[in-house]
Structure 1
């Protein structure tokens, strides 16, 4: 396959993935179908089948796309920081910003995790993946590195603290309303985390 054809193919796949995210937001996973995705993308269902073997493969790729998009967003905002504590602050700020600015992606992610099932009829949220969630792993690495360099206290568990921080960040998506002050929430979370790690 030529570079031009590869580029066109990748662009088409991304178009389908974005249409899947839109449909998940509009009608949810339960009513999702390839026909509705095709209508949203303004393409034929046959073209979707050309790029993805079936609905399950499309959903798995959509899930990977969503996780990858969030990780890329966070990494982009962390790369300028060399100090480990500043990296931690950048991670928290970027995660909350993403939750606030990309609500559609988060809705699609929740729809997939809590409604999609594997070929063996196992819900995604019950899967015991061998590979750890890259977002949790990235944060856990920062916390562990901070302890190794003796910048952070040794009195906390990196894995448990990573779960705590990511959980608080994820919860912010469910609190979105006119009265919810994301900046204040961010400041309070940073204060809490600082007390834990310092």
Structure 2
């Protein structure tokens, strides 16, 4: 039991170093040696936990996606109110994550737009084939609001979720201060609620 805990802690340390390295030098310059240097460990230790660079990159992307989904889901669960409040919480939590996890944002973009599968398919082309947990969560909130008549009934929840997610993603790499994020959050929330009225 202690060994698996230690192994998981070591894997997370390596993934965190991969995130930092991606954020600092980008995907095209990254190597296991540079990640090991960032983590202050040997390259062999990375190879013990991950098959190769592609395996580490894949695990890093899965970590980034899960971390963001966990953060936002917890904020929504804490709301315990109707769809309107959950939508507000979703927007606020999404933007708060963007503001407080800048390195993660850069690393995710570097992976999605530069990494490829073994057969040469760019990761960004896989997005259409994979279920997006955040978009699914937002769509469920919109469906619940529509069903309970908190929102209008004449809209496509999946399409509106894509629009809101697009607006949230647009600010991902803008290095905004707190006041700018607050303004963006308030405007996006106002516009989303107006669209659903």
Describe the SS at the equivalent of 2:41.
coil
Q: Which residue of 1 aligns with 2:33?
A: 35
How many pairs align? 196
The 10-residue stretch of structure 1 (18-27 or 127-136) with the greater mean CA deviation from structure 2 = 127-136
C-alpha distance in 2 between matches for 1:117 and 1:131:
15
Q: List runs of 5+ in structure 1 lacking aligned partners.
A: none
Which residue of the partner structure matches residue 147 of structure 1? 146
- Shift of the alpha carbon at 1:122? 1.1
Q: Does the CA contact (< 8 Å) of 1:156 and 1:196 recur in 2? A: no
Q: Mean Cα displacement is larger for which, 145-154 or 30-39?
A: 145-154
What displacement does 1:85 show? 1.1
Give the aligned partner of residue 132 of structure 1. 131
Question: Deviation of residue 180 (structure 1)?
Answer: 7.1
Whether the 8 Å CA contact 1:29–1:116 is kept in 2: the answer is yes
5+ residue gaps, structure 2, are none
Cα-to-partner distance string for 1:81-105 (whole Å, 9 max, x where unaligned): 2222111100000001111111110
Q: CA deviation at 1:130?
A: 3.9
Written as runs of structure 1 = structure 2, the 5 A alignment for 1:27-176 is: 27-82=25-80, 83-127=82-126, 130-176=129-175
- State the TM-score, normalized to the length of structure 2: 0.94
TM-score in terms of structure 1 length? 0.94
CA root-mean-square deviation: 1.5
